[in-house]
Amino acid sequence: MQNIPPDLFATKGTEYLIVIAYLFLLIGFWRLLARSTAEKATVALLRRVHGVRRVPKVRGWFRVPDGYYFHQGHSWAIDEPGSGGTVRVGMDDFSQRFLGRPDTFHLPRVGDRLKQGERGWEVQVESRSIPMLSPVEGRVVAVNPEISQKPELVGSEPYERGWLLKVQVENARAAFTNLLSGRLAHAWNEATVDRLHRLQAGELGLLLPDGGVPVDGFVRVLAPDDWDDLARDFFLTN
């Protein structure tokens, strides 16, 4: 009988383990590739059908820049330095990602008075008007002249060129008392993301593939027949 080296089986066993490990890695790679391809196909389909695109992931799902004060109805305000009590007002990143590209805005006129937490303006999306709450109380002293011609600025630059109004307030510090900023604003943003995660399994489905980020205008894809009701729920205008 031919002599077999005593370490042959040990050597072969090691080789078998290496082959098995390689196969597991290969399977994992193909699954990852297939999932990525499926996600890209989903986004491509949504782009073609609904004209929406993926949201870049910045500080979670939605941008919440420091220095801004946020109302929980998803509007913001920021002090205009050296203006003598004038604040700039607009919609936050969540609201415009939620609704998608607006068709137009129904803004108050210069001289109109706004109250904090009450209707400040409306966003026209398709055939529906979505009311938004004012983050501050005061008198409107200016409206953004670019918005009527380029409403998409609110989507591309919500905190910069996409501002909506300038409001004269009696005291800027007091006007910001009930608003969220800094860590509180980021915590509130994360709570909003958590709320969307809870919707994922039952309702969002396709729009949040494998823990991804929502597409622009995802509420219109989610609920094409009654998305304005869902918007009013998130924007506290029910």
Instruction: Tell whether 193 is covered by a domain.
Output: no
Pull the structure tokens for residue 90: 């607009």
Q: How many domains, the chain?
A: 1
Residue 34's pLDDT band (cuts 50, 70, 90): very low
Pull the structure tokens for residue 42: 């989903």
Query: E strands, the chain, where?
Result: 69-71, 75-79, 86-91, 104-106, 113-114, 119-125, 128-133, 138-143, 165-168
Query: Residue 132 is part of a domain; what is its CATH number?
Result: 2.40.50.100
Which residues, in sequence order, are CB contacts of 199 under 8 Å at separation 6+?
A: none
Residue 18's pLDDT band (cuts 50, 70, 90): low
Instruction: Tell whether 123 is covered by a domain.
Output: yes
Residue type, position 167, single letter: V
Chain segment 105-162, per-residue pLDDT in tens: 999 999 999 999 999 999 998 888 889 999 999 999 999 999 989 999 998 899 999 9
Residue pair 117/73 in contact (Cβ under 8 Å)? The answer is: yes
Which phi and psi angles does 132 have, rounded to 5°? -125, 145
Instruction: Tell whether 104 is covered by a domain.
Output: yes
Instruction: Tell whether 42 is covered by a domain.
Output: no
Chain segment 45-98, per-residue pLDDT in tens: 334 433 333 333 334 578 899 999 999 999 999 998 877 889 999 999 988 888
Please compute the mean of the pLDDT values over residues 154-171 and round it to a whole number: 93
The mean pLDDT value of the chain amounts to 75
Instruction: Tell whether 94 is covered by a domain.
Output: yes
Instruction: Tell whether 106 is covered by a domain.
Output: yes
Residue among 200, 187, 172, 185 at smallest CA distance from 81: 172
How far is the C-alpha of 129 from the C-alpha of 122, rounded, in Å?
A: 6
Show the domain range for 103. Answer: 69-179
pTM: 0.69
